[in-house]
Amino acid sequence: MIRKAVFSIALVVGICTCTFAQDSSSVFFTTGVGLIKVSRPLSKVLKPALSFNSGLEIANKKNWFLQGTVDFNTLAYYQQITENASPYLFQNANSSLLLLGLNGGKNFDLSRHLFISGYIGGGYINIGEPRATLKNNIVTQDIARQSSGFGRIGSRAGYKTGIGFLQTIYFDAAWLASTITVQDAKLNGFSFFVGLRMHM
C-alpha cells in the first residue's frame, strides 16, 4: 500500500510540476527538523519527539508554489487501552509516523530578505503501533500499521540570508487532520519545523 501511495503522489507531483513549470522560475529543495504535537485526548498516548521533513518546491514568477513533502516522525508511545488479544500496555515505546504530502500556496515578500507563506495540502499518512500478543504462553511482539489520507493547512516565515549553503532559513507551523483512529481517538495535531530552503 505504501508503494502505491508513493507512486500515486509522485505521479501527481510530476504532472503538477510539468504544468506548473511552464511559468516557473525557481526550484527549491527544502529540509527541516521539528516535532509534531498531537491534540487531546490522543496527546496522552503519543508524545512529541524528533521529526524530519524534506521536499521539493516549485515557485513561479507570481510567487505561487507547489511542494511535495516527505515527513518521517518517531513519536513516544504510551498505550492506554489494551487491544485484541494483548493483555499488555506499552509504555515509553516508539511509534513511527510517515506522511507523504502535496501542498499548494503563495509566498508574500515583506522585504528583500523576509517573506511569509500560506498553504493548504494533503496526502497519505501511515502510523505503526507496537503490539504484544500472548498465545500458548508465548509472547509475540509486532507492529500494527494503519494508513489513510490527511489534510493540512499551514504557514511559514522565511529569511533569505544570501549565504550560499543556508540561502533561506524558515519556520513552519501547520495543523494536520486525519481520519485515522488510534486508541479510540482521531489523529490530529500541530507540526512545527525549522528548516532550510535551497535553490537548485
Domain count, the chain: 1
| Range from 18-32, 90-104, 126-140, 177-191 carrying the lowest mean pLDDT | 18-32
Q: Which long-range contacts (CB under 8 A, 24 or more apart) does 79-82 make?
A: 79/45, 79/129, 79/130, 79/183, 80/44, 80/45, 80/183, 81/183, 81/184
Question: What's the mean pLDDT in 15-35?
Answer: 72
Q: What DSSP element (H or E) covers 187?
A: strand 185-199
Question: What's the mean pLDDT in 51-72?
Answer: 92
The DSSP secondary-structure symbol of 20 reads H
Nearest-CA neighbor of 163 among 134, 198, 131?
Answer: 198
Q: For residues 105 and 187, give the distance between their C-alpha atoms in angstroms, rounded to a whole number.
A: 24
pLDDT band with cut points at 50, 70 and 90 for residue 22: low
3-class SS at 192? strand
Q: For residues 25 and 107, give the distance between their C-alpha atoms in angstroms, rounded to a whole number.
A: 14
Question: What's the mean pLDDT in 62-88?
Answer: 85
Question: What's the mean pLDDT in 1-27?
Answer: 52
Report percent pLDDT > 70 for the chain: 86
pLDDT band with cut points at 50, 70 and 90 for residue 84: low
What CATH number is attached to the domain comprising 107?
A: 2.40.160.20
Question: What's the mean pLDDT in 85-107?
Answer: 86
Burial 16-45 (b: 16+ CB within 10 A, else e): eeeebeeebeeebebebebbbebbeebeeb
Residue 3's Cβ-count burial label (10 Å; 0-12, 13-18, 19+) is exposed
pTM score of the predicted model = 0.81
Question: What's the mean pLDDT in 168-173?
Answer: 96
Cβ partners under 8 Å of residue 89, min gap 6: 79, 80, 82
pLDDT band with cut points at 50, 70 and 90 for residue 151: very high
- pLDDT for 33 beyond 50: yes
In the block, cell 498531537 appears at 38
List the domain range (segments joined by +) for residue 99: 2-199
Over the stretch 113-122, which tens digit does the pLDDT of each residue have? Answer: 999 999 999 9
